[in-house]
């Protein structure tokens, strides 16, 4: 878990600071599969700026997730270019527009949990499916072989008796 103490920035309204941080990432679990960040320590750029009564936090990083393809279970990698922004109300008031909406869940006692923020930013940046390649054919539903390596079809040997009437109709035409 990577944590940054926001008090050390001592920003006045209108000031901002940029800092490079290294975030130790944990394996990411999606659909019962494990995806590891490559490398496990991700370099990130944190921008902290102070507006009147609030801090604006920007985070940018690039990471590659490595794990099984969702179609064929072969090796897959997906590159993620993530950026995220949080606003944290320093006074806890939030003004007239609703206090908790301006309180970041990643800031507790003026300490920013960047590790959790990175994990959530990765989750929001993931594609619908993690594939080894865009045209992955997947696994054969009958025999389980990888259709990318050995494309094939299974000829149905026995006809379902419920289709017999249609087969008789086809034969008569």
Q: Which pLDDT does position 92 carry in this prediction?
A: 59
Please report, rounded to a whole number, the percentage of residues in the chain having pLDDT higher than 70.
91
Tens digits of per-residue pLDDT, 45-73? Answer: 999 999 878 899 999 999 999 999 999 99
- pTM confidence score: 0.77
Q: Which pLDDT does position 97 carry in this prediction?
A: 52
Q: Give domain limits for the chain.
A: 3-136, 137-173
41 or 95: which leads in pLDDT: 41
Tokens for 149, please give them.
């390596």
Cα–Cα distance for residue pair 149/137, rounded to 1 Å: 9
Residue 99 pLDDT class (50, 70, 90 cuts): low
Q: Which pLDDT does position 146 carry in this prediction?
A: 94
Q: Which pLDDT does position 13 carry in this prediction?
A: 86
Tens digits of per-residue pLDDT, 114-135? Answer: 999 999 999 999 999 999 999 9
HEC sequence for the chain: CCEEEHHHHCCCCCCEEEEEEEEECCCEEECCEEEEEECCEEEEEEEEEEECCEEEEEEEEEEEEEEECCCCCCEEEEEEEEEEEEEEECCCCCHHHCHHHHCCCCEECCEEEHHHHHHHHHHHHCCCCCCCCCCCCCECCCCCCECCCCCCCCCCCCCCHHHHHHHHHHHHC
Q: Which pLDDT does position 100 carry in this prediction?
A: 62
């Amino acid at each position: 878990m990577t944590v940054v103490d926001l008090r050390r920035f001592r920003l006045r309204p209108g000031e901002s600071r940029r800092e490079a941080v290294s975030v130790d990432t944990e394996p990411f679990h999606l659909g019962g599969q494990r995806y590891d960040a490559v490398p496990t320590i991700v370099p990130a750029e944190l921008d902290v700026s102070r507006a009147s009564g609030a801090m604006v936090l920007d985070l940018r990083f690039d990471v590659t997730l490595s794990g099984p393809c969702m179609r064929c279970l072969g090796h897959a990698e997906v590159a993620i270019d993530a950026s995220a922004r949080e606003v944290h109300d320093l006074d806890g008031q939030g003004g007239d527009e609703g206090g908790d909406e301006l309180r970041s869940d990643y800031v507790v006692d003026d300490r920013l949990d960047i590790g959790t923020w990175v994990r959530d930013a990765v989750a929001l940046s993931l594609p619908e499916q993690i594939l080894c390649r865009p045209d992955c054919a997947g696994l054969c539903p009958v025999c389980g072989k990888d259709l990318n390596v050995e494309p094939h079809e299974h000829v149905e040997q026995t006809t379902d008796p419920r289709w017999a009437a249609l087969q008789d109709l086809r034969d008569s035409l």
